[in-house]
Each structure stands twice: as C-alpha cells, then as structure tokens.
Structure 1
C-alpha cells in the first residue's frame, strides 16, 4: 500500500492522475548504474500507473536489471502542480496491444492515424510497464503563482 503525502488528499491526487494527459516522466537506472529518464504515455487505474512501450526499447532491459523507478506527472504550464513518487515496475507482454490502444485513444483520440498505424503494426512487439507506487507526493503552487498567467 502506497503512502500519500503533500498538498492534496489521496482522492484529489487520484483525480489528477486519472485526468491528466501529459506524459509521465519515468526515471530508472541503467545496468551500469547510470541514470535514465524518459517520458511515456500512462493511465492510472486501481492504484497503479500503466505505460506501454516497444519490447525492444532500452528501458525494458534497464528495468529488467533494476525494477526501481521514480516518476512525475505534472503540469507543463504555471501554476505548477502534480504528483511524483517512487515504486517498482513489473513488465509483461501485451500481445494484443490492449494498453497501447487505450493510450492512443486517451492521448491522440484514437488509432486511425499514422502514429497508430506505426505503433500497432503486426511486427512490433509491445510490453506493459506496470508501476506499483510505494510512495506518492503531491504539490500545488497555485496559491503562490496566482498572479502568473499560463
């Protein structure tokens, strides 16, 4: 069970994660001990963050070597607010690309486009990255940035 801290209640932070369509920023370690960060589409459901990526992506081998991650979902325009945290990742095959289809609907409005055709091609193998948060922290700078236009 994840611990929740910060500016928002668990319900407010959950609503934020469910409603945002900015990518999640995901940080992990490379097998040589270096740091790696990338942005992925995500969906938040039942306390986990699910992302889709190619089975051949470098991050998959990084996460197979070390499943610990840090992450952030935040607004890109002022006033800044969001949720960050840390947890572990489970990798599983998504042969039917179910999660990817859902993410294409969520982020670009469907699969009937060039990006959808490319990502859903039959020769592309897809995996699901399931992030199980250990801790989450929310922040909201709305009050102190109230006079700044976004």
Structure 2
C-alpha cells in the first residue's frame, strides 16, 4: 500500500517527527455499536509503519479485530499546534520478542525499572502488536504563524 502525504511536511519530515515525538498517538476506531472510540497509545515509527502494543483482551483489540480501519493523530495538546494525522489499516499479531515493548518503555517511561514497566514486561506474552500501515498522512505546522500572533 502506498502512503499519500499532504500538508506542511514532506515524507522525510513526517518520519522524523514520528521518530522524535513522545506524544502518544490518538487512535480512532468504530465500535460494534457504530460509535467512534478514541484511545491514546504509546507508539514508535518504523519503516513507514506505526507500532503500538495492547493487551489481547482489551476492548481496543476487540474493535480492531472486527474493523481494521483507523484514524490517527500525533500532536501536542498545547499551542502552537503541529503534528500529523491520517488513516491506516491495522494488523494484529502476538508481540513475540519484547524489543518493541522495551523501546516503548524507554521512550515513554525512561526505561523498564518502574513498577509499571515491570508489570507490563511480566505480562508481555498477553500483549499484541498493533501495526498501523498508513494510507494517508496529513501534516500541519502552525508554530511560525502562531509565534507571530503572540
């Protein structure tokens, strides 16, 4: 699947932003009742894919198993506003080795030494790898314009 890029940044700038960002990804999916759900997840960007992890029994995994189409956004909550959003298809598979989980713990917790880090590692065999394959990515960057307005 080819990804279409639009907006303020070129493909390489989007990749750099996703690799450097420690904002969680907001993942939007539609439940069986037809209502949208938005879930924030830790993520990492790897070779044009976005990787997340969730427990195999989570509501999110149930929703994604039924409908692999998602919307997503990675952006700060506070101004100035910038980031990426898009659409993707999701695939689910057992986590396997713990390298993705270790990278997420390092990125968002600074390592796996905390109680939360150890708890997540202890149940890693119950986690699934969520792989987003974006079809469309839109970037925006209002930092310069918003700085001028202040």
Matches within 5 A, 1:5-24: 5-24=6-25
Q: Take 2:35 and 2:16, find their aligned partners in 1: how far apart are those partners?
A: 33
Matches within 5 A, 1:1-150: 1-122=2-123, 125-147=126-148
Aligned residues: 149
With the length of structure 1 as denominator, give the TM-score of the two structures.
0.93
Q: Take 2:18 and 2:124, find their aligned partners in 1: how far apart are those partners?
A: 32
CA RMSD between the two structures: 1.5
Runs of 4+ in 1 over 3 A off after TM superposition: none
| SS of residue matched to 1:118 | helix
With the length of structure 2 as denominator, give the TM-score of the two structures.
0.93
Q: Take 1:122 and 1:26, find their aligned partners in 2: how far apart are those partners?
A: 23
Structure 1 spans left out of the alignment, 5+ residues: none
| SS of residue matched to 1:87 | strand
The structural deviation recorded for 1:42 is 0.2
